[in-house]
Amino acid sequence: MKTNWTIPQQIVASLFFPLVVLILLGVVSVHKTASLLEISQELKQTYRVLTELDELHAHFLDAETGQRGFIITGDDAFLEPYEIALHSIDADYEELRRLTEGNLGAQERLDRLRPLMREKLEEMRLSVEQRRREGAEAAAATVASGRGRRAMDDIRAVAGELRAEEMRALAAREQEAAASEQRLLVTLTAGSALTVLVVAAVGFLIIRGINRRIHSATRRIESSATELQAAATQQAQGSKEQATTSTEVSATMRELLSTSHQIAESTQRVTQIAADTAAAARAGDETVKRAREGIDGVQRQVEQIVLHMLDFGKKSQEIGGILQIINELAEQTNILAINATIEAAGAGDAGRRFGVVADEIRKLADRVGGSTKEIRALIEEIRAAANTTVIATESGSKAVDASARQFGEVATSFRQISELVSSTAEASREIELSTKQQATAVEQVNAALLDVARTARETEASSSVTLKTSSELATLSKDLVRLIQRPAGA
Q: How many CB atoms lie within 10 A of CB 148?
A: 22
Whether 458 shows a pLDDT value over 50: the answer reads yes
Average pLDDT estimate for 23-30: 78
Distances, alpha carbon 54 to alpha carbons 61, 96, 157, 162, in Å: 11, 11, 14, 11
- For 32-76, how does the pLDDT look when each residue is reduced to its tens digit (9 = 90+)? 677 767 777 777 888 888 898 888 888 888 888 888 888 888 888
Percent of the chain with pLDDT over 70: 78
The pLDDT-based confidence of 488 (bands split at 50, 70, 90) is: very low
Could you please report the per-residue DSSP string of 245-292?
A: HHHHHHHHHHHHHHHHHHHHH-GGGHHHHHHHHHHHHHHHHHHHHHHH
Determine the average pLDDT of the residues in 300-328. Answer: 78
Mean pLDDT, range 428-451, rounded to an integer: 71
* Secondary structure of 40-80 in HEC code, one letter for each residue: HHHHHHHHHHHHHHHHHHHHHHHHHHHHHHHHHHCCHHHHH
Q: What is the mean pLDDT of residues 447-451?
A: 73
Tell me how far apart the alpha carbons of residues 366 and 344 are, in angstroms, rounded to a whole number.
20
pLDDT of residue 353: 75
484 pLDDT tier (thresholds 50, 70, 90) = low
Which range has the worst mean pLDDT, 69-73, 280-284, 431-435? 431-435
Q: Are 416 and 238 in contact (CB under 8 A)?
A: no
What is the band of 239 on the pLDDT scale with cuts at 50, 70, 90? low
- In three-state secondary structure terms, 4 is coil
pLDDT confidence band for 450 (50 / 70 / 90):
confident
Of 227-231, 367-371, 393-397, 412-416, the poorest mean pLDDT is in: 227-231
Candidates 1.10.287, 1.10.3470, 3.30.70, 1.10.1760; correct CATH number of 214-489? 1.10.287
Contact 57/65 with Cβ under 8 angstroms? no
Instruction: Give the residue from 416, 424, 442 showing the smallest Cα distance to 274.
Output: 424
Cα(130)–Cα(127) distance, integer angstroms: 5
**71 vs 206, which has greater pLDDT?**
71
Closest CA to 306 of 382, 222, 395: 395
Q: Which of 1 and 50 is assigned the larger pLDDT?
A: 50
CA dist 59 and 12 (Å) reads 69
- Distances, alpha carbon 361 to alpha carbons 332, 342, 349, in Å: 11, 14, 19
Strongest mean pLDDT among 10-14, 199-203, 376-380, 461-465: 376-380
- Lowest average pLDDT, out of 49-63, 379-393, 454-468, goes to 454-468
What is the band of 486 on the pLDDT scale with cuts at 50, 70, 90? low
pLDDT (mean) for 463-488: 68
